[in-house]
Amino acid sequence: MIDLHLHTTASDGTLSPSDLVRAARAAGLSTISITDHDTVAGVRDARTAAREERIDLVAGVEISAVDAGRDVHMLGYFIDIDDPELQAFLDRQRRDRVRRVEEMRDRLASLGAPIDAQPIVDAATHGRSVGRPQIADALVAAGHVRTRDEAFERYLEFDCPAYVPRCGATPESVIAVLHHAGGLSSIAHPGVRPQDDRIAHLAASGLDAIEAAHPDHDQAAEARYRALAARYGLLITAGSDFHGEHRAHEIGAVTLASADFERLRTAAAIRRRQ
Ligand code: AMP
Ligand code: FE
Ligand code: FE
Ligand code: ZN
């Protein structure tokens, strides 16, 4: 079984990269990709465990792009994690995350919900990325809200009072960075905030795939994205978007068919030869 969307403690997951590999093995997965937000640190740290557990580990990433002021998550696969341009790009993304944390901290203070953001800022080292999930936890710890969800609903979601926009890259530039690093691009969970009209444009900009199957896609959404992929000649990706036991999505809850995976692998090999 193949699960190409997994998070670790390098971003907002709860399992360390090596623990994630072991959990994937225990869940019966044969191939996984670690796709942390704006970092490849978890891929690097998981490699030894993947060899030990005989798991096929695809180097991945989930990059937060911005289009018309809204976040668009872009998945990268089969990337060279040592590519200097990719590393410089991800460094900039993570620096902007720290800037955003500090601005959200200031807004929360003026809204009467002060938090201690220093531990979050201090955690943003060694390639670790931080963001709203850690702020949500700080809001819970400070007693301003009862749950992470409540923190997002009252303060952190788009259009909420403490929301601070990201200075992110465009989806087109993310596709270019991923291609430069020898990888493929896929638009993550497009059904979460439907953006179907954008897919034609992204396909023309070199998008390689669509994440058709995701826990937040119902059967109709999955069918719609499979049809869009066929229409624009795009490949399919899929995964559970596992963040840890505390979140609804179990590891391996959504998997990719081997035939779809082989198409991705072939496309990546062709791209690297170009
Ligand atoms: P950021 O990277 O700072 O934009 O934060 C986005 C991350 O927050 C997403 O990757 C999700 O994992 C997480 N997230 C988004 N909405 C919620 C929510 N309502 N409850 C818990 N986590 C959420
Ligand atoms: Fe996340
Ligand atoms: Fe995402
Ligand atoms: Zn994700």
Nearest-CA residue for ligand 1 atom 9 is 133
Q: What is the mean pLDDT of residues 129-146?
A: 97
Nearest-CA residue for ligand 1 atom 13 is 133
Sheet containing strand 70-77, strands side by side:
2-6, 31-34, 56-67, 70-77, 184-187, 209-213, 235-238
Q: Looking at residue 197, what is its pLDDT?
A: 86
- What are the pLDDT digits (tens) for 69-118? 899 999 999 999 999 999 999 999 999 999 999 999 999 999 999 999 99
Ligand 1 geometric centre to CA of 145 (Å): 16
% residues pLDDT > 90 (the chain): 93
Q: Is the CB of 144 under 6 A from ligand 1?
A: no
Nearest-CA residue for ligand 1 atom 14 is 133
Alpha-carbon distance of 250 to 273, in angstroms, equals: 36
Ligand 2 geometric centre to CA of 25 (Å): 22
Beta carbons within 10 angstroms of residue 260's beta carbon: 21
- What are the pLDDT digits (tens) for 223-260? 999 999 999 999 999 999 999 977 778 999 999 999 99
Q: Is the CB of 131 under 6 A from ligand 1?
A: yes
Alpha-carbon distance of 120 to 123, in angstroms, equals: 5
Closest ligand 1 atom number to CA of residue 38 = 2
Q: Looking at residue 137, what is its pLDDT?
A: 96
Instruction: Give whole-number Cα distances, 85 to 34, 171, 177, in Å.
Output: 20, 16, 7
Q: Residue 36 — pLDDT band, cuts 50, 70, 90?
A: very high
- What are the pLDDT digits (tens) for 188-213? 999 998 888 889 999 999 999 999 99
With residue 60 as reference, give the H or E element that holds it.
Answer: strand 56-67
Residue with more model confidence, 10 or 168:
10
Q: What is the mean pLDDT of residues 146-152?
A: 96
Ligand 3 geometric centre to CA of 191 (Å): 11
Q: Looking at residue 273, what is its pLDDT?
A: 82
Q: Is the CB of 152 under 6 A from ligand 1?
A: yes
User: Beta strand 184-187 with 70-77: parallel, antiparallel or unpaired?
Assistant: antiparallel
Q: What is the mean pLDDT of residues 151-162?
A: 97
- What are the pLDDT digits (tens) for 41-83? 999 999 999 999 999 999 999 999 999 889 999 999 999 999 9
Tell me the average pLDDT of the chain. Answer: 96
